[in-house]
């Protein structure tokens, strides 16, 4: 790339500020908490009241997703007395996007002053005793994607996952009579599913679930000053642990079947998260 071409490419900060401005048009500058909805989990956004929506295609500087189940829209509305910004659908590294690209929206949440973000995803289960439909709060992660969204001055943050929010989500599950698990999420590059040998290696490394998203967003959100939490919906047993062949249709089907229970957890948890990590400005 020539020096002239470099001048034409918007900086990361300029792209993030542009996304934040677009989200402010639906009231996101007043949001208390943000949530990113993974594969099959988009119906939660319909619970928001007095909602306003903007499609990802209408947000300048935001990359587009080509993955089924990732609608590509932002909805801002009210839930349990707090203002929630929901991102339905995300982009992935395996679509050819950079770690910076996939974390732009998460950075924009921070620029808007939102205090906390809850990242959700569909994941493969690495523990045979966890059936499909299990919800797992992310307490830590393994970044095996070979990518990071962080820039030099942002290094050294360590784990982005808030222990306080982990405890809150586990407590909410108990209160609802639907206990959730907690564990370590391993992020791989994808797009192919893991081999049985890779699954054995991941289990040896201490992972409890495996997926292809979330980590870059978590790191970027933490670097922007947000409190970060995450929940994985275990949609299938990873290769070698079950008898069925893996495919994305199964991921979507289990995500949709679990959507109501997942949405109940989010409905109860987000107001508590907003109180624990209030808006920063």
Q: Which residues are catalytic?
A: 39, 70, 92, 94-95, 122, 212-213, 236, 248
Task: Determine how many CB atoms are found less than 10 A away from the CB of residue 204.
Answer: 8
Of 281, 280, 265, give the one whose Cα is nearest residue 35: 265
In angstroms, rounded to a whole number, what is the distance separating the alpha carbons of residues 35 and 171?
A: 19
What is the 8-class DSSP label of residue 264? H
Distances in Å between the alpha carbon of 25 and those of 20, 48, 52, 131? 9, 17, 9, 41
DSSP 98-111: -HHHHTHHHHHHHH
Report the DSSP pairing between strands 49-55 and 135-143.
unpaired
């Amino acid at each position: 790339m020539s020096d002239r071409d470099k001048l034409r490419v918007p900086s990361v900060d300029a792209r993030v500020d542009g996304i934040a401005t677009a989200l402010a048009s639906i009231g996101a500058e007043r949001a208390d908490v943000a949530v990113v909805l993974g594969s099959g989990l988009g119906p939660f956004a319909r619970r928001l009241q007095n909602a306003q929506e903007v499609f990802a295609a209408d947000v300048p500087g935001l990359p587009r997703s080509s993955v089924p189940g990732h609608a590509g829209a932002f909805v801002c509305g009210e839930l349990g007395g707090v203002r929630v910004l929901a991102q339905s659908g995300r982009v992935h590294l395996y679509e050819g996007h950079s770690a910076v690209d996939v974390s732009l929206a998460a950075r924009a949440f921070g620029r808007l002053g939102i205090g906390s973000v809850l990242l959700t995803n569909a994941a493969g289960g690495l523990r045979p005793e966890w059936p499909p439909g299990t919800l797992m709060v992310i307490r830590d992660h393994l970044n095996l994607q070979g990518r990071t969204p962080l820039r030099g001055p942002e290094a050294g943050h360590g784990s982005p996952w808030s222990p306080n929010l982990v405890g809150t989500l586990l407590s909410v599950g108990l209160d609802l009579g639907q206990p959730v698990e907690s564990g370590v999420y391993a992020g791989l590059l994808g797009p192919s599913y893991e081999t049985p040998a890779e699954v054995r290696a991941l289990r040896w490394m201490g992972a409890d679930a495996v997926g292809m998203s979330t980590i870059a967003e978590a790191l970027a959100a933490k670097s922007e000053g947000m409190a970060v939490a995450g929940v994985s919906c275990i949609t299938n047993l990873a290769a070698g642990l079950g008898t069925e062949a893996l495919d994305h249709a199964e991921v979507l089907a289990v995500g949709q079947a679990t959507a109501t229970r997942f949405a109940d957890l989010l409905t109860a948890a987000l107001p508590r998260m907003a109180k624990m990590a209030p808006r920063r400005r």
